[in-house]
Amino acid sequence: MKQKTTSVSSMSKKTLGMVQIALFSAIIIVMAFTPFFGYIPLGFTRATIIHIPVIIGSIILGPVQGAILGGIFGLTSLINNTINPTATSFVFSPFYSGGIAQGGWQSIVICFLPRILTGVIPFYVYYALKGKGSCSKKRQSFALSIAGFAGSMTNTLLVMNFIYIFFGQSYAIATKRALNSLYSAILVIIGFNGIPEAIVAAIIVTAVVRALMHSKSVQKSVQHTH
């Protein structure tokens, strides 16, 4: 009887985990394909807030599930840049050529690796800062805000640096900048777009995760992942 109860409990946790991943995935997909919501046009490129549910999923569900959500984020980016391209979409899609350059395997790396890591790193940052067991609300809020900031900056820093490494010359032409000043322009993007995005992520992640922690199903997930 005890073994049967344990088996049912294990199945219940797996089912709950699958439902939670499906829910977060649905949020990411809806955000991605709602105009001017998940991906916000900014001339030759797009800003995004889709990393936020990925970060929240990482902290609540765990790094493996966070990586899956990050992969879904990457897939939506690939699809979006293929069917609704901008001048620089070749850096995210191997299936799009802007007349300046053709995307390739490097586009897949840019599209997926930063987003997958965005779903992994926040989990470890949060628990490293929070420590084991319960902690004060102040410490938890600090850990959540830094995890949110770190997750967002992981995406921004890796994407922008990979663009420079893999597509520097083509990206400079597409954005009408001189190659020798491109990295300075990338640093400006990181400073004026990436850091505000990370601050917003820190605020939203802290508020949402703290609210969700009151849910019994979320508490079970957190206990199961750590």
Residue ranges of domains in the chain, CATH in brackets: 2-225 (1.10.1760.20)
User: Which pLDDT value is given to residue 218?
Assistant: 65
CA 17 distance to own-chain centroid: 19
pLDDT for the residue numbered 217? 58
CA 183, 184, 187, 189 dihedral sign is negative
Q: Which of 31, 21, 28 is nearest to 62 (CA)?
A: 21
* pLDDT at 76 exceeding the cut of 70: yes
- Please report the pLDDT score of residue 134 as a whole number: 79
Residue 199 tokens read as 């601050």
Q: What is the pLDDT of residue 86?
A: 87
What is the pLDDT averaged over residues 147-173?
97
| pLDDT > 70? residue 225 | no
The C-alpha atoms of residue 76 and residue 66 are separated, in whole angstroms, by 15
What pLDDT is attached to residue 91? 95
pTM of the model: 0.90
Question: Is pLDDT larger for residue 122 or for residue 219?
Answer: 122
Q: Confidence band (pLDDT; 50, 70, 90) for 14? A: confident
How much of the chain exceeds pLDDT 90, in percent? 70
Which range has the worst mean pLDDT, 113-117, 128-132, 151-155, 161-165?
Answer: 128-132
Structure tokens at 41: 């046009």
pLDDT at 5 over 70: no
Provide the pLDDT confidence category of residue 165 given band limits of 50, 70 and 90: very high
pLDDT at 12: 77
Q: Which residues pair with 46 in a beta bridge?
A: 41
Using DSSP's 3-state secondary structure scheme, residue 97 falls into strand
What average pLDDT does the chain have?
A: 90
Per-residue pLDDT band for 13 (boundaries 50, 70, 90) equals confident
Please, is 60 exposed, middle or buried when counting C-beta atoms within 10 Å of its C-beta (0-12, 13-18, 19+)? Answer: buried
Model pLDDT, residue 183: 96
* Strand ranges (E), the chain: 39-42, 45-48
Number of H-type helices and E-type strands within the chain: 9, 2
Distances (CA, A) of 143 to 50, 146, 200: 21, 5, 15
